[in-house]
């Protein structure tokens, strides 16, 4: 069964460094998403991406964040200058087509900012 994959599974970085989190969505899906989950808290929506552009973003998704689909298979989330509070599990998700969009999540990347 096709699934969303994410790399790396765990990333440790120093505050102020740039990180890129990578995702490979399910191949025939058209909608792509990033979410984060700070330890012990809710899963929070960051951004959605469709037709090679951002469709929707939350207030969390500020200028430090960017997304890209560089080659038709990968979907990346970049954090330009990480802060301690960016430490979280980051989930990529993808969805098919249509109005009732099931979203399928990857296993996540645990980001630790020191």
Contact set with other proteins (CB under 8 A):
30-31, 33, 35, 41-50, 55-56, 58, 91, 93, 95, 97-108
Distance in Å, CB of 90 to other proteins, minimum: 11
3-state secondary structure 41-63: CCEEEEEEEECCEEEEECCCCCC
Using CA atoms, how far residue 48 sits from 24, 52, 94, in Å, is 15, 10, 9
Distance in Å, CB of 55 to other proteins, minimum: 3
CA dist 103 and 106 (Å) reads 10
Distance in Å, CB of 10 to other proteins, minimum: 11
CA dist 55 and 83 (Å) reads 25
Nearer Cβ to other proteins (44/66): 44
Nearer Cβ to other proteins (74/81): 74
Nearer Cβ to other proteins (85/100): 100
């Amino acid at each position: 069964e096709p699934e969303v994959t994410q790399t790396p599974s765990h990333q440790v970085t120093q505050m102020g460094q740039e990180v890129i989190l990578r995702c490979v969505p399910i191949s025939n899906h058209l909608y792509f998403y990033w979410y984060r989950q700070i330890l012990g808290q809710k899963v929070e929506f960051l951004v959605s991406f469709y037709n090679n552009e951002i469709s929707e973003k939350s207030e969390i998704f500020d200028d430090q964040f960017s997304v890209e689909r560089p080659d038709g298979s990968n979907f990346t989330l970049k954090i330009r200058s990480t802060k301690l509070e960016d430490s979280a599990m980051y989930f990529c998700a993808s969805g098919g087509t249509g109005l009732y969009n099931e979203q399928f999540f990857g296993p996540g990347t645990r980001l630790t900012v020191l």
